[in-house]
């Protein structure tokens, strides 16, 4: 009987202690939950991988060369323009004559566009370092209204590539499987990518990722 009385007393003491303890409310529980951090993937802009292909042979030849990372593979695809050099160079004008070249000398060059027009000379192509790009933004058929002239021809297809850190984005103008012009987008903002795409594209082949 004595043991039974002790057990009853201990049970009553425990019951009294538990009844006096504060009860956690939903508000108390929520206060202890740490906020979840937003992962980098949620905020990083999304682009296509360089191994993306369009299903169009003449475009995919260029894409494969870009993915390889070998400058020579791209050099082999340059489709040079043959133009007369000029001794006075103007924005958007013919290529400037180099030392020893008389005005009107025919030179083979790859036109490039950026803040100003420029050229890569075929006989100096070994010095060209290649493209420093990481992703594909979009592929499209080039609009009839896209800028071009006899010195800066446009392609049938445009490929927008995303430059690596501190490198410009680049548009490759492609015609008959060759690169006829390169456009360098020094403004690397998303808005400039969108503006370039909307300005140049007629039919979309691979659309930008949202």
pTM score: 0.78
Residue 91 pLDDT level (bands cut at 50, 70, 90):
low
Mark 175-185 as b/e (b = at least 16 C-beta within 10 Å): beebbbbbbeb
Domains of the chain: 57-206 (3.10.450)
Lowest model confidence (mean pLDDT) among 66-70, 88-92, 152-156: 88-92
- Determine the pLDDT at residue 23: 40
Does the structure show a pLDDT above 70 at 203? Answer: yes
3-state secondary structure of 194: helix
Contact predicate 103/85, CB 8 Å? yes
């Amino acid at each position: 009987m004595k043991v039974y009385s002790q057990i009853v007393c201990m049970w009553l003491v425990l019951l009294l202690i538990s009844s006096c303890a504060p009860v956690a409310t939903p508000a108390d529980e929520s206060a202890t939950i740490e906020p979840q951090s937003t992962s980098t993937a949620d905020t990083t802009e999304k682009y296509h991988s360089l191994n993306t292909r369009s299903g169009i042979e003449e475009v995919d030849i260029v894409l494969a060369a870009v993915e390889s990372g070998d400058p020579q593979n791209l050099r082999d695809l340059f489709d040079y323009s043959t133009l007369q050099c000029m001794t006075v160079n103007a924005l958007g004008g013919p290529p400037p004559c180099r030392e020893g070249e008389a005005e009107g000398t025919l030179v083979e060059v790859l036109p490039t566009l950026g803040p100003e027009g420029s050229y890569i000379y075929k006989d100096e192509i070994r010095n060209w370092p290649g493209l420093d790009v990481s992703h594909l933004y979009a592929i499209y058929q080039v609009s009839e209204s896209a800028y071009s002239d006899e010195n800066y021809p446009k392609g049938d297809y445009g490929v927008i590539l995303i430059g690596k850190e501190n490198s410009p984005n680049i548009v490759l103008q492609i015609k008959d499987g060759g690169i006829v012009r390169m456009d360098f987008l020094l403004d690397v903002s998303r808005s400039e990518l969108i503006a370039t795409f909307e300005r140049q594209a007629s039919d979309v082949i691979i659309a930008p990722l949202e």
